[in-house]
Amino acid sequence: MALLCAAQFIVILDTSIIGVALPAIQSDLGFSASGLSWIFNAYVIAFGGLLLLGGRLSDLLGARRIFAAGFFILTAASLLAGLANSQESLLAGRALQGVGAALIAPSALTIVMRLFAHNGAELGKAFGFWGAAAAAGGSAGVFFGGVITEWLSWPWTFLINVPLGLLVLALIPALLRKFQRNSGKVDWFGAITVTGAMATLVYAIVTIESVGLGSPQILTLLAISAALFAVFLTTQVIRHEPLLPLRIFAAPNLAAGNLVMALLGAAWIPLWFFLNLYLQQVLGFSALAGGLALLPMTVTIMVVMVGFSGRSIARFGVKTSLILGLMLMAGSLWMFAELPLDGSFVANVLPASVLAALGMGLAYIPATMSGMAGAKPEETGLASGLINTTYQIGSAVGLAVMVAISASGIAHSVSPTTERLLAGFQAAFLGAGVTAAIAVLAALLLIRSAPRQSEVPVG
C-alpha cells in the first residue's frame, strides 16, 4: 500500500509541480496564453484518452506488469520533457508522461481494490490514504515547483521524476505480488477512436479563442469529434470484447458517479490553474512565494482525506458527503470570482483556498467510490480506468472552456494589462463555480443513497 500511495504521489506531483513553473516556461519557450494550457492538456489528453486501455490491459496482462510499464514510460518521458528546448519537444514529453500515467493510475487502483475489496471499512481507509497521497503529491508539487523554479530552473520540475521513478521500478519486484489475469483481447481500435475524439474536442475548444465559435474550422473539428465518439460507441456495442462494455453502466451509481467526477475535474483543475496565474501575474508573487501560498490548500486536502472523509462517509453516507464537498467547492469558486486587483493573500486567497480544499477533500473519495463500488471483481481495472478517464476528460474540457472564457474576458476589457488579466481570471473562476453548482445538482438528483460505508460489502 505504501508503494501504491507513492505511485499516486508521483502521478499527482507530475501534474501539480508545473503549475508554479508555467510563467517561467511561457517566458523561455514563448507559449501564448492559450498555448500554455496545452502543457497541461497534452498530458491530460494522453492520460484521459488511454486510461480505459490502461484499465483493460491491467485486467488482461496483470496489474503489476502494467504498473511497471507505466513507470518506465513516465520516467523516460520526464527525462525528455526536462531536456526540451522547444515547445514541440516539451509537449511531446508531456504527452508521453500522460501515456505512462494512463497505465499507472488504473493498475494501481486495481491493486488497491483487490487488496481491500473484501472489507468495506478497510477499503474506505485505503481510499483515505490513496487520496491523501494525491494531496501530498499536490502539496509537494506546488512547494518543490516554487523552490526549483526560483533557485534552479523549470526543467528540473520534470527531471525530479527520474530518480523517483527509478526507485519505484526497483521496489516493484519485492513489494507487489502478481494478480490473476483475465482472458480476452485488447480493443486497440476503440482506444484510438476515443483518444482521437477527446483530442479533437479539446483542440476545438481551445481554438475558439482565435477563430470564433461559429467558424468553419471549429464546426469541422466538433463534427469530427462527434463522429469519432459515435464510431467508438457503435463499435463498443457490436464488438465481442469491447474496450468499454456498456453493460458496466448498469452497476448502481456508476454512470452518475462518473458524471459527477467529470464535473469535479472541470471545476477543480481550472481553479488550480488560474489561481497559480493570479498569484504571480496579478499579485506579483515569485515562483517560490506562489508555491508556498498554495501549500495550505493542498495540506488541508490531505488532512481532510485522512482524518475526516472516511468518518464523514461512515456517519452521513457517500451521497451526503459528496454533496457537501461540492457545495463548499462551489462557494469557494464564487469567492475566487471576486478576487480584487490589490488583494492580499491572508484576506482574499487563503479563506477561499481552504474552503476549496475542504470541498475537494470531502468530495473526491465519495465520487470515486460511487463510480467503482458496483463493478464486478473482474472489471475493477476497467472501472478504475473509467473513473480516472472521466476525471481527466472533465479536467481537460473544463480547463479548455475556462481558458476560452478567460481569453474572451481579457479581449473584451479595455483596462490596463493587469486589470484585463484579472477580468479574464474572474470570468474563468465564475465559469468553474457554475460547473461545481451543476455537479451539486447532478449528485443530488442522480446518486442513489446507499447504506453507510461500514455496512457496504464491495466487490
Summarize pLDDT for 71-129 with one digit per residue, the tens.
999 999 999 988 888 888 888 998 899 899 888 888 887 788 778 766 666 776 777 77
The closest alpha carbon to 298, from 24, 7, 2, 15, belongs to: 15
Cell numbers standing for residue 343: 488583494
> DSSP letters of 332-345?
HHHHHTT--TT--I
The helix-helix angle for 2-29 and 287-304 (nearest 10°) equals 150
pLDDT in tens, 34-61: 677 778 778 877 776 777 788 778 878 8
- Run of H or E residues at 60: helix 33-61
Q: What is each CA distance from 227 to 105, 224, 266, in whole angstroms?
A: 28, 5, 23
d(CA 181, CA 84): 38
The closest alpha carbon to 244, from 384, 442, 97, 102, belongs to: 384
Say which residue the cell 527509478 belongs to.
166
**What pLDDT does residue 230 have?**
93
Contacts of 207 (CB under 8 A, 6+ apart): 217, 218, 221
Yes or no: say if 395 and 46 are a contact pair by the CB < 8 Å rule.
Answer: no
pLDDT in tens, 127-149: 777 777 776 776 677 677 777 77
Q: Of 293 and 208, which is predicted with more confidence?
A: 293
**What pLDDT does residue 350 have?**
92
**What pLDDT does residue 209 have?**
62
Q: Of 335 and 151, which is predicted with more confidence?
A: 335
**What pLDDT does residue 412 have?**
55
Yes or no: say if 355 and 331 are a contact pair by the CB < 8 Å rule.
Answer: yes
Contacts of 398 (CB under 8 A, 6+ apart): 265, 266, 267, 269, 270, 432, 435
d(CA 198, CA 45): 7
Write phi, then psi, for 251 (nearest 5 degrees).
-65, 140
- Per mean pLDDT, which of 24-28, 161-165, 350-354, 444-448 is the most reliable? 350-354
Yes or no: say if 43 and 370 are a contact pair by the CB < 8 Å rule.
Answer: no
Domain 2-177+243-455 coded CATH 1.20.1250.20: yes
- Per mean pLDDT, which of 186-200, 228-242, 364-378 is the most reliable? 228-242
pTM across the whole model: 0.74
Q: Specify the amino acid at residue 248.
A: I
Contacts of 194 (CB under 8 A, 6+ apart): 49, 52, 228, 229, 232, 243, 244
Yes or no: say if 231 and 203 are a contact pair by the CB < 8 Å rule.
Answer: no
What is the mean predicted confidence (pLDDT) over 263-284? 86
**Could you tell me the residue ranges of all domains in the chain?**
2-177+243-455, 187-242
What is the mean predicted confidence (pLDDT) over 361-371? 85
Q: pLDDT-based confidence at 70, cuts 50/70/90?
A: very high
The closest alpha carbon to 304, from 320, 290, 321, 292, belongs to: 321
Q: What is each CA distance from 356 to 26, 226, 305, 327, 458, in whole angstroms?
A: 27, 33, 13, 9, 29
**What pLDDT does residue 195 have?**
77
Q: What is each CA distance from 41 to 15, 122, 167, 300, in whole angstroms?
A: 10, 35, 27, 26
CB atoms within 10 A of CB 230: 12
Yes or no: say if 130 and 76 are a contact pair by the CB < 8 Å rule.
Answer: no
